[in-house]
């Protein structure tokens, strides 16, 4: 029995020392000490070899290789040296490095007597302008000295190398002086307001320099999709050149915001969960091509991750007018009307949403289609630009009649 127990116990010992346990018990202790020492030396050598192999990834491990490329050799990874031209998707780091120099910080100053309180604290949406309300604890009453005092901080971006900058109208609203800080310059530039629109909340200012400025290209917000990755760059709470990222949460959002001058009715806004804070106003919302698809404008103060940006499609339609200080129609929705056209069963004039009836009340005709779209038409025609030629059709007593 003792012999069986001895043989059983020898099965579970480490294989590395099994030969030593099978030696004759009559051997002296000095006979196995050299073997044990040799084993320990061999184990240490083998462990060092395995450790080195893991570091050099010679055994085919995936994780050490990925770690070395991203952490120890960024210059050779392809990401850090990626060429950015706005024509294809890039990494976040390459997009930011190329776009940031064109994003500017805007500081406004007003005369002390003209400082106003921010009246938007009760609104679920609020302006991103940092109104100081007199800045000296005077409850917005200020003084009559006429001294220029800081009144707000916001963002903007250069869209032309000649110094043209786009921002929100509420960022520069009421400013007596506009200072623009551009990366790479020690002193701010004095900016001139060229044109603005209260209703669209857009403004263009211009600075003068002795060399071309970096500029960002406007993208097509209509081509963007919900779920796309987007990047915001701005100066929230005066933390310059802050980068945040998120996704495009929704499109075509309407909101309204009350302020001292009235009510702004925003249409066709982009919604994003990208962090937008006071000071981000006027900054760009970029797609993964590095193109501007939105102008960061507002957030829902009662929620988290609900921000809004004016779409680049809205900007593109009025940008030239803003540059040249031309009047922008308050209501850009076109009027739909159809000139009299002859039909052997019916001749008359069709007006949008005003069906004409005969004396018998049997012939009712109305617009049925607009470029292949069926009612309701109010939402569709509200997005069409003035002067755009449309095709329409009509129906009477459940029978359709195409226009000619």
Q: What is the pLDDT of residue 26?
A: 46
Q: Which helix (H) or strand (E) holds 62?
A: helix 62-67
Q: Which helix (H) or strand (E) holds 269?
A: strand 262-272
Q: What is the pLDDT of residue 194?
A: 97
Count CA atoms within 13 Å of residue 39 on its CB side: 12
- Of 56-60, 85-89, 142-146, 254-258, minimum mean pLDDT range: 56-60
- Of 70-79, 200-209, 218-227, 302-311, minimum mean pLDDT range: 70-79
Q: pLDDT at residue 71 above 70?
A: no
Q: How confident is the model at residue 32 (pLDDT cuts 50, 70, 90)?
A: low
97-126+147-207 has CATH 3.40.720.10 classification = no
Active site (catalytic) residues? 170, 201, 281
pTM of the model: 0.59
* Cβ contact 170:156 at 8 Å: no
For the segment 151-205, what is each residue's pLDDT rounded down to a tens digit? 999 999 999 999 999 999 999 999 999 999 999 999 999 999 999 999 999 999 9
Q: pLDDT at residue 225 above 90?
A: yes
Over the chain, what is the mean pLDDT? 70
Q: Which of 338, 337, 319, 339 is nearest to 328 (CA)?
A: 319
Q: What is the pLDDT of residue 258?
A: 87
Q: Which residues pair with 229 in a beta bridge?
A: 247
Q: Summarize the confidence of residues 333-342 as an average pLDDT.
A: 44
Q: How confident is the model at residue 260 (pLDDT cuts 50, 70, 90)?
A: confident
Q: Which of 164, 194, 171 is nearest to 325 (CA)?
A: 194
Residue 127 to residue 300: CA distance in whole angstroms:
10
Residue 175 to residue 72: CA distance in whole angstroms:
49
Residue 287 is encoded by which pair of tokens?
Answer: 């797609």
Residue 272 to residue 297: CA distance in whole angstroms:
11
Ranges in the chain annotated CATH 2.40.10.10: 97-126+147-207, 221-324
Q: Would you call 91 exposed, middle or buried from its count of C-beta atoms within 10 A (0-12, 13-18, 19+)?
A: middle
Tell me if the bond preceding 376 is cis, omega within 30° of 0: yes
221-324 has CATH 2.40.10.10 classification = yes
């Amino acid at each position: 029995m003792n012999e069986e127990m001895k043989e059983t116990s020898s099965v579970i010992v480490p294989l590395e020392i099994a030969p030593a346990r099978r030696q004759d018990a009559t051997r002296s202790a000095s006979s196995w000490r050299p073997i044990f020492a040799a084993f320990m030396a061999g184990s240490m050598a083998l462990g060092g070899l395995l450790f080195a192999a893991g570091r050099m990834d010679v055994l085919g491990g995936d994780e050490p290789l990925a770690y070395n490329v991203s952490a120890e050799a960024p210059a050779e990874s392809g990401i850090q040296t990626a060429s950015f031209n706005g024509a294809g998707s890039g990494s976040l780091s390459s997009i930011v490095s190329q776009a940031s120099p064109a994003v500017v910080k805007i500081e406004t100053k007003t005369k002390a007597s003209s400082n106003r309180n921010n009246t938007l604290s009760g609104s679920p949406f609020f302006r991103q302008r940092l109104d100081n309300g007199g800045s000296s604890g005077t409850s917005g009453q200020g003084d009559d000295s006429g001294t220029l005092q800081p009144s707000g901080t916001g963002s903007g971006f250069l869209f032309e190398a000649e110094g043209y900058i786009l921002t929100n109208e509420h960022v520069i609203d009421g400013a007596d002086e506009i200072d623009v800080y551009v990366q790479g310059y020690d002193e701010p530039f004095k900016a001139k307001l060229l044109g603005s629109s209260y209703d669209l909340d857009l403004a263009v200012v211009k600075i003068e320099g002795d060399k071309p400025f970096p500029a960002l290209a406007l993208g097509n917000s209509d081509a963007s999709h919900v779920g796309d990755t987007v990047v915001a760059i701005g100066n929230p709470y005066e933390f310059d050149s802050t980068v945040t990222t998120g996704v495009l949460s929704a499109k075509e959002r309407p909101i309204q915001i009350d302020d001292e001058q009235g009510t702004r009715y925003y249409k066709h806004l982009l919604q994003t969960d990208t962090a937008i804070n006071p000071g981000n106003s006027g900054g760009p919302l970029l797609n993964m091509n590095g193109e501007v698809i939105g102008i960061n404008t507002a957030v829902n103060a009662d929620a988290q991750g609900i921000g809004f940006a004016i779409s680049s499609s809205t900007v593109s339609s009025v940008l030239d007018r803003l540059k040249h200080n031309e009047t922008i129609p308050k209501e850009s929705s076109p009027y739909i009307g159809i000139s009299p056209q002859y039909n052997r069963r019916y001749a008359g004039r069709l007006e949008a949403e005003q069906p004409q009836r005969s004396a018998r009340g049997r012939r009712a005709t109305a617009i049925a289609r607009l470029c292949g779209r069926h009612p309701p038409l109010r939402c569709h025609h509200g997005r069409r630009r003035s002067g755009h030629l449309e095709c329409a059709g009509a129906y009477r007593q459940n029978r359709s009649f195409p226009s000619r």
